[in-house]
Amino acid sequence: MKIRELAVPGAWEITPDVHRDDRGAFVAHYVASAFTEAIGHPLRLGQNHHSVSRRGAVRGVHYADVPPGQAKVVTCTGGELLDVVVDLRTGSPTFGRWDSVLLDPVSCRAVYLEEGLGHAFVALQDTTVAAYLNSEEYHPAAEHEINPFDPALGLPWPDDMEHLVSERDRNAPTLAEAERAGVLPSYAVCRAPHRRGG
């Protein structure tokens, strides 16, 4: 398993070992010992879920209140998606920066993002399946969104497809609007549990 930090601190690309034979393939996206060694803390598991999306579906940019926040490991088990992580933490040296990773069931890559980071993806094929391991259970009142088409962010959505976006995401505030409203997570608060090794 190879784990490398992305351009957004607190987010990593995970490239697992894929064991293939004439039956198919076997892969582990999360191995606690390797994860903890590379990232510095284990993943607390609060919930797992998956979504199925049509080609062009854009989900996100979503984030949760910190604390407790919601860290997650995201994989693609069917189809193909472009996964995007956005630094939404006020006071972060990389505030507003994003990075992306192509996820599919052939490479079996995954993305891990810590609490306070924004997450989004676009499905590049019909019936794209994204699978998530989340550190916390879903709490609707603590969940928020940033407009995925905020021109100041300039996220890398392909222009060769129609984008399918929920009303919630279409009407979400821009990053600047959310910052002015004081609803974004703080970098210092987000990083504190990990500085303590928690």
Task: List the catalytic residues.
Answer: 62, 132
> Which contacts of 98-106 are long-range, i.e. CB under 8 A and separated by 24 or more positions?
98/7, 98/8, 98/153, 98/155, 98/156, 99/6, 99/7, 99/8, 99/11, 100/156, 101/6, 101/13, 103/74, 103/75, 103/76, 103/130, 104/76, 104/79, 104/80, 105/76, 105/77, 105/78, 105/79
Distance CA 19, CA 108 (A): 11
